[in-house]
Amino acid sequence: MFKQRKWLIAAAMLIIVGGLYPYLGLAEGESQGEETEAAAVVDTADSGAVDAVAANTDSASEPVVIDTEAADTEDVVAAVPLTPITAMTKVSENDKYELYIDEKTGNVRVVEKATQQQWLGSPQVPKTTMPNNKKFMDSPAHVKYTMGADTTSTYTLKDKENKFKIEKTDYGAKVSFHLKEEISFALEYRLTENGLEVTIPNDSIKEEGQARLLSIEPLPFWNAASGDEQGALFIPDGSGALITYKKEHPQFFAGYSEMIYGDDDAYVAPSHTDMEADYERALPFKEKIALPVFGNYRNGVGSLGIVTEGQYDAKINATPSGIRAIPMYRTSTEFIYRKQDVIFIGTSGQIPFFQGERIPGDRKVRFVTLEGQDANYVGLAKAYRNYLTTEQNVQPVEQSGYPLSIKLYGGLIRDDILGSTFIKMTTFEQAKSIIDAYAAKGMTNLELTFEGWSDEGMYGDQPDHFPVEKKLGGSKELKELAAYAKQKGIKLYLEANYARAYSESDGMSKSKDAIRGMDKQVKEDPNYFISERWNKDFEMFYLMKPERVVDKHVMKELDDYASLGIDGVQLSYWGDNLYSDLDPRTITQREQTASTWVSAIDAIRGKVGATGVDYGFAYTLGHVNKINNAPLDSSHFIYLDETVPFYQIAIHGLIPYTSSPINLRDDAQVEKLRALEYGALPSLELTYEKTSKLQRTLETRLFSSQYTSWIDNASSEYAATASYYESIANKAITNHEKLSEDVFRTIYDGGTQIIVNYGNADAIVGGVTVPALGYTVRNGGQ
């Protein structure tokens, strides 16, 4: 009997394992079955489909043939009975669209008159869908609130006590909601010339009970799709990323949910995994959201979401199918009204704490509709580019030829056993020698940025920047360098840090100048150990109060910059770190911080001539002349399928941007190819002296920086890519496509195209061989 039971148990285990096999050991996008000689057929934006044929041979050098004329194929999907469309009451129309509303839910549908294409706020799903999940998807708003300690989620159709009222307006419709938790708010729907706009008026929000509003997510299932459909979710993670629709994939327990413009460093909890009273451990590195956008497309029906008001305190959410047992892919924005953190009081440990007052202001998201060949990530990026140029007044910054961007490191203080020593890495006179050395190698079109030039160098008296450090040559030799560079046709920027001051700085008072956290104490902003991610309490910095630092330092130093004869100022942190200030005396929201910085950028630009930032958050676009270290990758979260150049398609030809320095690349060849594919100008971060002189200082990034070590490498790369970069200067990207798993093509206005091959075998595209780990330029450049 015991043996029989053992056999029965074993048989049952085999059946269970067999049923689970498709989900075990398969990465996203992998499939099971025997090996074949042909790779999958993938769509392209302008040529139907691409059939990547890789021969199953023992030789890794066998070329991969890319057929760009292959016919498109689609799987035949069996029809499944779906729920009917319920938004049938027309409330508004304009020349292009009609707006319909569901009187039983308050959700909406938009119909394009000419094509009769439609965008649903509530998706059609199988009739077998559970009723609670159907209500969850039909709800036009998802809400989070707190009663004091925890976060609770709800939605407008969850409870029968929830009420709503629909009012027809001149512009569309207004739906007012009242939840059983005594929270009220309204959604205002309005048709635009290119889609739909949804507004949450600040004055419509009421909290009449104990519950306090934390967030509202409007139209969370707008244009949602099932795994049977062709398309993807677009999220603005780094340069951009896609979650492609699939019938089967590994089980995910959470989707993407990140703050636009990154986490707010006034708070500890959102960006840390472990927190103690004196120590904290940062989350692993991830890219930031630089643009307030999101989107999706399915079977030729696309939508770009643009957060036009409230983006400074909002998240972008993207949820794969299967979560909450819902077979739909969806993406949306979630407006934050209160933030949460933890505080420490005595030995009581962590105490969760919510903001008392709501973050004020209307919230607004615009949905731009796209159809046919425009319903893909390229079309979404072009739509956002159009928004930037027509509504945000972003004007093109002229790029002269092919500039090589070089950042020169001046110096810094090193603490010794007795006293301290100023370490000179590049003097102003030595900078002239570097200019001459690069010119001798054919690199005359340079754009220099000098860092660590101010009093006591890199980690000196910031946010004070004057006087100029005497040990580097003082203001006299800096003026001479500026004049020398101008004579050579070279632009010279000075890097300034008005955001993050070192604890030993004499240029600030942490009690007066530094922001405060939720516990009302001065907020510390330490460096972290790279491997373990714990904070370094001996490398402490403080974030500066935005309005105070601009009034007290920036505006007073404008004339000093102008007197040096430089071409511009590169502003550290202003383009890649947005924070608030919770000091009760000077509460500053992130929107105010961004506004303060933009006003200061404009003032510097007007006085000195040009400005630049790193990474390039959207609020800086139209106010800067260049972007250093633009995002060229995504965070590669497990549910992400592809990294795409959405950021680059949106701004190439509007604002020049660079890749990370050549001498600091982790994977030299792959990062070089990515810069070429994404149209990012190359850069270097160099010193005149040997890098070893930086030992026992705060500067641990520059592991190889002496200019003589990199001049030949830079010269070779510059010469090989010069004609390509010159041909794409000031040109928009018109298309980007994935030709195979390792081969990508970028096409520019005017016809220049580059095909990049990340694979270990040569690829043949249209009869042209693209070398392994190499590239080919066509119709411009060589």
**Which residues make beta-bridge pairs with 686?**
408
Question: For residue 547, with 0-12 CB atoms within 10 Å meaning exposed, 13-18 middle and 19 or more buried, which class applies?
Answer: middle
- Confidence at residue 314, expressed as pLDDT on a 0 to 100 scale: 98
Is 207 inside any structural domain? yes
Question: What tokens appear for 309 in the block?
Answer: 């008001």
pLDDT grade for 69, boundaries at 50, 70 and 90: low
Q: Are residues 108 and 220 in the same domain?
A: yes
- Confidence at residue 54, expressed as pLDDT on a 0 to 100 scale: 33
Q: What is the pLDDT of residues 642-686, one digit of tens each?
A: 999 999 999 999 999 999 999 999 999 999 999 999 999 999 999
- Tell which residue, 120, 114, 121, has the closest CA to residue 96: 114
Cα–Cα dist 481/487, whole Å:
10
Q: Is the pLDDT of residue 697 over 60?
A: yes
Q: Is the pLDDT of residue 28 over 90?
A: no
Q: Is the pLDDT of residue 26 over 80?
A: no
Q: The domain containing residue 322 runs over which residues?
A: 89-226+238-299+310-371
Is 339 inside any structural domain? yes
Please tell me which residue, 614 or 253, carries the higher pLDDT value: 614
Average pLDDT over residues 573-594: 97
> Three-state SS for 93?
strand
Q: Are residues 63 and 209 in the same domain?
A: no
**Domain boundary residue among 371, 391, 412?**
371
- Confidence at residue 78, expressed as pLDDT on a 0 to 100 scale: 58
Q: Is the pLDDT of residue 275 over 60?
A: yes
In the 8-state DSSP scheme, what is residue 371?
E
Q: Are residues 57 and 172 in the same domain?
A: no
Q: Are residues 46 and 151 in the same domain?
A: no
Is 765 inside any structural domain? yes
CA 428 to chain centre: 36
Q: Are residues 150 and 42 in the same domain?
A: no
Cα–Cα dist 369/116, whole Å:
13
> Three-state SS for 477?
helix
Q: Is the pLDDT of residue 4 over 80?
A: no
Is 181 inside any structural domain? yes
Question: For residue 399, with 0-12 CB atoms within 10 Å meaning exposed, 13-18 middle and 19 or more buried, which class applies?
Answer: buried
Q: Are residues 52 and 124 in the same domain?
A: no
**Domain boundary residue among 355, 371, 387?**
371
Directed axis angle between helix 428-440 and helix 707-728, to 10°?
60
pLDDT grade for 443, boundaries at 50, 70 and 90: very high
Task: Please compute, for residue 520, the number of CA atoms within 13 A of its CA located in the half-sphere on the CB side.
Answer: 4
Q: Is the pLDDT of residue 61 over 90?
A: no
Please tell me which residue, 12 or 754, carries the higher pLDDT value: 754
Contact present, 168 and 91 (Cβ < 8 Å): yes
Q: Is the pLDDT of residue 32 over 50?
A: no
Q: Is the pLDDT of residue 709 over 60?
A: yes
Contact present, 368 and 330 (Cβ < 8 Å): no
- Confidence at residue 559, expressed as pLDDT on a 0 to 100 scale: 97
Q: Are residues 325 and 364 in the same domain?
A: yes
CA 286 to chain centre: 10
Q: What is the pLDDT of residues 398-419, one digit of tens each?
A: 999 999 999 999 999 999 888 8
- Confidence at residue 68, expressed as pLDDT on a 0 to 100 scale: 65
Q: What is the pLDDT of residues 86-140, one digit of tens each?
A: 999 999 999 999 999 999 999 999 999 999 999 999 999 999 999 999 999 999 9
Is 678 inside any structural domain? no
Is 705 inside any structural domain? no
Question: What tokens appear for 462 in the block?
Answer: 């910031």
Indicate the length of the chain as a whole number: 782
Alpha carbon separation from 239 to 297, 460, 679 (Å, rounded): 18, 33, 12
Is 742 inside any structural domain? yes
pLDDT grade for 16, boundaries at 50, 70 and 90: very low
Residues contacting residue 33 through CB under 8 Å, at least 6 positions apart: none
Cα–Cα dist 243/640, whole Å:
5
**Amino acid at the residue 168:** K
Q: Are residues 206 and 250 in the same domain?
A: yes
Cα–Cα dist 557/569, whole Å:
11
Q: Are residues 207 and 178 in the same domain?
A: yes
What rounded mean pLDDT belongs to the chain? 90
Angle, alpha carbons 618-624-628 (nearest 5°):
80
- Confidence at residue 149, expressed as pLDDT on a 0 to 100 scale: 82
Q: How many domains does the chain have?
A: 2
Q: Are residues 181 and 119 in the same domain?
A: yes
Q: Are residues 66 and 161 in the same domain?
A: no
In the 8-state DSSP scheme, what is residue 703?
S
Q: Are residues 188 and 45 in the same domain?
A: no
Q: Is the pLDDT of residue 718 over 50?
A: yes
Is 696 inside any structural domain? no
**Domain boundary residue among 335, 356, 371?**
371
Contact present, 627 and 611 (Cβ < 8 Å): no
